[in-house]
Amino acid sequence: MPPKKRNTVVSQSKEPKPSAASVSPDKKEIAELSFKKHRDKDTEFVTLCKSLHVTDLVCDNAWMLWKTIQDSVEELNAFQDSQKSLWGSCLFASVTDMDIACFTLTQLLKAVSLNVKEFLALVRKLDVNMDTISTKVNAALSSLEKKYDVMLALYQRFEKTCKSVFASVSDKEKEIIRSCWTMFLLAKGRALQMEDDLVISFQLLLCTLEFCIKRCPPELLQPLYKSAISKVHNPPARAARRSQSKAKSRPPESEVDLQLLKTLCKENDCNSEEVKNVYQTSFSAFLDSLDLSGAPHFPQGKGLDQQYEQHYLRSRDFDGRLFLDGDATVLAPKVDLSQVERTPKKMSEEDNTLIPPQTPIRAAMTSIQQLRGDLTSSGDQPSTHLATYFKNCTVDPTQDVMKRLETLGEAFSQRFGQAVGPHCVTLGRQRFNLGVKLYYKIMEAMLKSEEKRLSVQNFSKLLNDSTFHTSLLACALEVVMATYGESSFKTGGYNQGSGDAAERNMCFPWILDVVNLAAFDFYKVIESFIKADPTLSKDIVKHLETCENLIMERIAWRTGSPLFELLRQEHEGGTAEQVETPASFSQPLQHNHTAADLYLSPVRPASSQPPAQPASQPARPLKSNSLSLFYKKLYRLAYTRLKMLCSHLLFSHPELEPIIWTLFQHTLQHEHELMRDRHLDQLMMCAMYAICKVKIVDLRFKSIVTAYKNMPNTSQDLTDFQASVLTTEGNYDSIIGFYNLVFIAEVKNATSMQDLTVPQHSSPIPQIPRSPYKFPNSPLRVPVSSNVYISPMKSPRMSPGIMTPRSRMLVSIGESFGVSNRFQKINQMVNSGDRSFKRSLDLGSTPKPLKRLRFDMDGQDEADGSKSGGDSALIQKLAEMTSTRSRVQEQKMKKQTSQHDHDEG
C-alpha cells in the first residue's frame, strides 16, 4: 500500500468543536441549553455553559456550587479572570459527580484559559467547607493529575529520543514524529486500562518507536539507528535478483526487530527482555487490531488521528496530541531550577562529568535495574542452602511450597491482566517470577538469622505454616509492584473504591485480596522482611512502612479480621490488660521481634515458656506476641498523630493533650469494637472533641476536620470523616452523627468521663523512637553534630576488584578534603559533646581496621534506648574509618614513593 500524501496530518492537532454527539459515546440526547431557563444566572456563566454544551441540570448544579463558594472567592483570586475559571471548576465538579458527558477536560481548559496543573489546583481549592468536593471528584482529580504527570514524562523522553534518532528536523521527520506519537497514544489507550502506568507505557513507547524507525528511510536517521535497521529493509530489487542465497542468509525478521529494540532499550536504560515481551503481547495485539502487522510502510497519519480522536472524546480528559504543538493547556509548569530536587553532584574519575538530575523515567528504570540486579544470583527455585532447611524439617514443606506458588502465580497473573490490560497476563507472570525470587531470598535470610539466634536448624513448624509463606510472598510481590510503580500512595493512598475502578486500583491492599490474606497476618512479616534485606531502597522501605500504618489505622479492623478473635481470646481468658499495659507501652519499643515469634504466637519458643503452674492454680494463657507488638505500634502511631493535631488546634491549652490521649488510649484498649470498620483518626477526632466539651473549650468539629486535612500523611478520603462513617450496622452518617449516636454513648457507658480527666488516671505518654526501619543507603548523622554524616556505599554490588581506595570509602564533612587533620577535627568535634556516651568510650582500645563500614542491620535504634552502647559504637565506627583511611593513604604514599624510586632507577 503506497503512503499517503504528507498533508493528510497537517491539521490533526486542531481542537474539535464540542458537540453532544462527539463527546457522548452512548449517544444520549442532550437538549440545547436555553437562556430563558437561566435568567437568574450571570449571562457570561450561561454563555460558558452553552459553549461547552452542558445540560440544564448541569448548569443548575454548577451555579448552586458557585453560590456556595462565592463568599470565599477572595481567597481564590490568584488566577487571572478568576471568576470564569471558578465557573469552569464548578462545571467540572458537577459533570463528574453527575457522570454526564458534556465536554472534555481540554475543551474546558481552553474555554477558561488555564493549563492542567493550574486547573487541578483551583478545583481543589473549592473545598472551602470541607464537604464541597466529593470523594468522586477528588479521585477524578488525582487520576487526571497522575495521568498528566505520566504523559508529560513520556513526552519529554519521546522528544529527547527523537533528537537522538533523526539526523535533521525537516517536514518529513516532523510528520513521522507526529504520527509516531499519535500511534503511541492510541496504543496506550487501547492496550492499557491503567493509562497512568509509567513503566508499561514507556515500554509501549519504545515498541512504537521501533515500529516507526524500522520503516523510516535510512537517510533520515542518525548512524546508530541507521546501522540498527540496515538489515531490516528489504534489499533493492536488482540486488535481490543477483543472488537468491544472499536473501536466504538474511536474519529472520524477529531477530532484526530485537536488534533495533535492544538499541532503543540500551539508550533508554530499559530491560530489553521486558520490552520484547510487551511487544509480543500488548503491542502486537494493537497492531493486529489496526491490520498493521507485517505492513512494510508507515501507517497513515490521518487514520491514526481519527481513531485517537474517538478515544480522547470517550475518555473526556486532555488531548495528548497537544504536547506536539506546545499548547498552553498542557505546558509543563515553570519550576525554579534552584528548587528542583537533584541528585548529588558527583564526578566520575575518568571524565569529571556530572550525573544528570533524576527524571521520573530515569528514577523508575534505576529502581527496576537495582531490583533485578539484587536478584541476579537468586533463582526461581530454592537455593541449595534453602533446600537444606526444607529437608531438615520434620515435615518437608517443599511440595506444599511449590503447589502454593503454582496456584497463587496463576491467580496473580490473571488478576494483573484484569487490572492492567487484556494482554498483560504474561507481564503479570514476569512480575510474579521476580516476586518468587525475592521471596526465596528473604526466606533464606530469615532462616539464617533464626538459626544464629536459636542455634537450631529444624524450622518445621514455621516452614509448614501456610500463612507465613503467603504473607512473605505477598510482601515480596508488593515490593516488586511498588518498584514498577503499580502500587503507589502518591494519589491519596488506599481507597476502597468499587466495581471496575476498584479492580484497576492496584494500590495496597490489592495484593491481599489477590492471595486471600488477612491484613493482620501480612503485618506480621513487614518488619522481619525489611531487616532481612539491606538492599531495599529508602522508597521501598517507606512504602512498606506506609502499608503497615494503613493496616494499623484501618485495614486490620475490618469485620472478619483475625485481630478481633485475638482480642476476644485475650479478654475471655482474663488477660485483658495483656493487650498492652500502661507500664509496658511507656517503655522503649524493642525491635527484636522476628517473623517466627509472630506467626507462631501466642506459643513462645521453648526457651521462653513460663514455669509450670501448681495443679491448684489454673494455667494463665500466654500473651500473644503479635497482638502485643501490634498494640505498641498502634499506640505510638496514634499518639504521634494526636500530638500533631493538638499542636495545630490546642497550642494555647497544652494541659489538654494528656487528657485527650488518656481517653483515646482508653477507647483503643477497652472499647476496641469502636474501631470495627472504622478509622483510627475518627476516634482521635472524637476524643479531642469530647474532652474539649468536658473542659468547656470552644472547638468545633469543622475546625478539627479542617486541621486534620492539612496534616501530612493523613487520609484524603474525606467522606470517611464527613458522610460515610459507620454508625450502626449498615448505616452511615457524618462524623458528628457518629460521635452523637455511637462514640459518646459507648464511652459514657464504660467509664466516667470525669474519671479520665483526673491527672493520676492519665495514661503514660508513649516513647516515640525513630523508625525501626533503617535505610541502608541513607546518611547517618553523627550525634552532637549537625554537619557530619557517614554513608554506606551506594553500589554494594560493585566488584571489589574494580574499586579504588577512594570509592571504597567516601566521607563527607561539608567541605573539601586534602588535609590529613580533617579527621582529627571530626574526632575533636564529636568528643566535645556533652552527651553521656563520652563516658563509655574506651579510649585505650585500638579499633581493628575494617575492609568496609559496618552498620547495625538488626533494626535496633540507638535513639530509643533499646540498645546499650549505641552511641559509642558510632564513635568507634568513626575511629575505625580514621584508622582505615590513614592506613590506605600510608600504603598509597609508599606505593608512590616506591614507583618514584623505580622510575629514577
Provide the pLDDT for residue 6.
Answer: 36
Q: How confident is the model at residue 841, as a pLDDT?
A: 35
The closest alpha carbon to 462, from 570, 390, 361, belongs to 390
pLDDT of residue 324: 93
Residue 25: which of 111, 100, 109, 110 has the closest Cα? 100
b/e code 635-670 from CB counts within 10 Å (16+ = b): bbbbbebbebbbeebbeebeebbebbbbbbbbbbbb
Determine the residue type at 52: L
Residue with cell 472547638: 699
Q: Is residue 394 within 8 Å of 457, Cβ to Cβ?
A: no
Residue 827 pLDDT: 64
Cell of 347: 564526578
Lookup result for grid cell 501480612: 522
- Strand-pairing partners, residue 726, are 732
Among 165, 406, 371, 124, CA closest to 264: 165
Residues of the chain whose pLDDT is less than 70? 1-32, 72-81, 128-131, 230-257, 333-357, 490-504, 573-592, 601-624, 713, 715-723, 750-761, 768-905
Cα of 773 vs its chain's centroid, Å: 17
User: 646 Cβ partners below 8 Å, 6+ apart?
Assistant: 654, 656, 657, 660, 688
Residue 36 is predicted with a pLDDT of 79
Domains recognised in the chain with CATH numbers: 43-133 (1.10.472.10), 155-230+255-325 (1.10.472.140), 360-553 (1.10.472.10), 625-761 (1.10.472.10)
pLDDT of residue 219: 87
Phi/psi at 243 (5° precision): -150, 115
Q: What is the pLDDT of residues 711-720, one digit of tens each?
A: 876 765 543 4
Residue pair 364/198 in contact (Cβ under 8 Å)? The answer is yes
Strand 725-726 relative to strand 811-812, pairing: unpaired
Q: Could you tell me the end-to-end alpha-carbon distance of the chain, in angstroms, rounded to an integer?
A: 77
Measured distance CA(24)–CA(26) in Å, rounded:
5
